[in-house]
Amino acid sequence: MKIAVVGTGYVGLVSGTCFASIGHEVVCIDNNKDKIDNLNNRGVIPIYEPGLEDLVKQNVAEGRLEFTTDLKAAVAASDVVFIAVGTPPRPDNGQADLKYVYQVAEEIGEAIDGFTVVVDKSTVPIGTAEEVTAIIEKVNPEADFAVVSNPEFLREGFAIDDFLNGDRVVVGVENSQAEELMKEVYIPLEKRGVQVLMTRVKTAEMIKYASNTFLATKLGFINEIADLCEKVGADVDQVAHAMGMDTRIGAKFLQAGPGFGGSCFPKDTMALEYIAKENGCDLSIVKATIDSNVNRKLRMAEKVAEALDGSLEGKTIGVLGLAFKGNTDDTRESPAIAIIKEMQKMGASIKAYDPAAIEEAKHELTDVKYGSDEYSVCDNADALVILTEWTQFAVLDLELVKAKLNNPILVDLRNLYSVAEVTTKGLKYYSIGR
């Protein structure tokens, strides 16, 4: 089966590479020539994703994966074409901006040769498949094609495993020829035990938004329960653990923290709220989730101030973590960035370290000094604050941390330690919901 993937960003590159690794012939397309040259000639990947570079190199070497800027030729030669370009939020109203999807749809329409399945892989509002169909029909009334929705459920940092061993694959399809081809695309995963669910197109589009928004709401819920735990003297980690043992609730996505971030949850919750408004439907729970998360990030800076007698004025804060979560260099909508900016507003000087995200953070932060490792940010700092759950931050030499800090204060907004293990080392410990 010949597959083309348009867009070599996060979703396109992971999906294209994984399709190749399960046996398909894949060509990934991008209009950025440097990116394509780097991928073709040096196997250099433009994103940080554990395991991806090796998988790209292996599949290129085995002849199943190639990269090109020539969309026309690649689309004409393919049975299935995935659209995997960005859908960033519009700054004015949070609506997903579909200009890249529509541009690519036009180009695909002009290039189609023989029956072709065009697949929306990017996260797109409900009704986008209809729009893409109309665009292709307009540019090429002769085109023989069907548009399908196949949302992705890939977590950054775990994307390859999520692709190959996901809980489910969702395909929204209303054309039988396209359905057969999509079954063929996913047969190798079905054989590995992944469930492939066929739905109507708009249902598939809704499943993506509903899934991300539900997970975001689950996080918002446990974060608010954490706040209450602090007030009443309960332990949110034990509360979440016991809640998660109830299979109706489920244990995942119940880790309280500084708020959710990344390029998906904040964007998709806003986009769903916009879609609801457009359709005259009040999603008050979604609205509350968005507001609660925005406020939470700001409140986290106050939590740090409270650990330092109520003021950050003139204080130096050592920060561990800039990425929106561990295992990624992505700082988009990172709680760490928002909290650092808020602490700066409150008068603090910041010295930060992250194993992968410093270069990305430099685009968003000013007046921050960067350390070369975990311990360098402790030197002469008035407190150490953990903002991202990198595994290496969970095994710090706490005696060394204490020796380096001006005050023995550790604020851990990811609950990486037990209260006992920090306090027995003589540090004052402030965490979430405990």
| Residue 390 in the binding site for ligand UGA (CB under 6 A) | no
Interface size with ligand UGA, residues (CB under 6 A): 20
Alpha helices by DSSP H, 165-253? 176-191, 201-232, 236-245
CB of 155 to ligand UGA, least distance (A): 4
Task: Determine the Cα–Cα distance for residues 100 and 83; give it in Å rounded to an integer.
Answer: 10
Task: Determine the Cα–Cα distance for residues 403 and 297; give it in Å rounded to an integer.
Answer: 29
Among 18, 28, 229, 264, which one carries the catalytic annotation? 264
> Residue 96 carries which DSSP code?
B
Q: Smaller CB distance to ligand UGA: residue 324 or 430?
A: 324
| Residue 152 in the binding site for ligand UGA (CB under 6 A) | yes
| Residue 122 in the binding site for ligand UGA (CB under 6 A) | no
Q: Smaller CB distance to ligand UGA: residue 64 or 332?
A: 332
Choose one: 85-93, 129-137, 253-261, 364-372; the region binding ligand UGA (CB under 6 A).
253-261
According to DSSP, the β-strands at 368-370 and 383-386 are unpaired
The residues near 5 (Cβ < 8 Å, ≥ 6 apart) are 12, 15, 16, 19, 26, 27, 28, 29, 81, 82, 84, 121
SS3 352: strand
Look at residues 51, 63, 40 and name the one whose alpha carbon lies nearest to residue 14. 51
Cβ contact 133:147 at 8 Å: yes
| Residue 212 in the binding site for ligand UGA (CB under 6 A) | yes
Among the listed residues 89, 261, 318, 355, the single contact to ligand UGA using CB under 6 A: 261
Instruction: With residue 116 as reference, give the H or E element that holds it.
Output: strand 116-120
Among the listed residues 67, 145, 163, 260, the single contact to ligand UGA using CB under 6 A: 260
Cβ contact 387:396 at 8 Å: no
Q: How many helices (H) and strands (E) does the chain have?
A: 16, 14
> Residue 318 carries which DSSP code?
E
Task: Determine the Cα–Cα distance for residues 135 and 104; give it in Å rounded to an integer.
Answer: 10
Q: Smaller CB distance to ligand UGA: residue 318 or 321?
A: 321
Instruction: Please provide the size of the chain in residues.
Output: 434
CB of 253 to ligand UGA, least distance (A): 4
Q: Smaller CB distance to ligand UGA: residue 66 or 330?
A: 330
Choose one: 191-199, 211-219, 280-288, 292-300; the region binding ligand UGA (CB under 6 A).
211-219
Q: How many CB atoms lie within 10 A of CB 59?
A: 22
| Residue 265 in the binding site for ligand UGA (CB under 6 A) | yes
Q: Which residue type is seen at 85?
A: V
| Residue 123 in the binding site for ligand UGA (CB under 6 A) | yes
| Residue 57 in the binding site for ligand UGA (CB under 6 A) | no
CB of 10 to ligand UGA, least distance (A): 8
Q: 264 catalytic, yes or no?
A: yes
For residue 101, list its beta bridge partners.
Answer: none
Task: Determine the Cα–Cα distance for residues 182 and 88; give it in Å rounded to an integer.
Answer: 27
Cβ contact 371:351 at 8 Å: yes
Among the listed residues 100, 102, 115, 153, the single contact to ligand UGA using CB under 6 A: 153
Residue numbers 27-46 binding ligand UGA by CB under 6 A: none
| Residue 415 in the binding site for ligand UGA (CB under 6 A) | no
Among the listed residues 85, 132, 154, 307, the single contact to ligand UGA using CB under 6 A: 154
CB of 134 to ligand UGA, least distance (A): 25
Report, in angstroms and rounded to the nearest whole number, the Rg of the chain calculated over CA atoms. Answer: 23
Q: Smaller CB distance to ligand UGA: residue 71 or 432?
A: 432
| Residue 325 in the binding site for ligand UGA (CB under 6 A) | yes
For residue 318, list its beta bridge partners.
Answer: 351, 384
Q: Smaller CB distance to ligand UGA: residue 21 or 212?
A: 212
Choose one: 168-176, 186-194, 254-262, 415-423; the region binding ligand UGA (CB under 6 A).
254-262
| Residue 255 in the binding site for ligand UGA (CB under 6 A) | yes
CB of 321 to ligand UGA, least distance (A): 10
Among the listed residues 119, 171, 219, 290, the single contact to ligand UGA using CB under 6 A: 219
Site residues, ligand UGA (CB under 6 A):
123, 152-156, 212, 215, 219, 253-255, 257, 260-262, 264-265, 324-325
Active site residues: 264
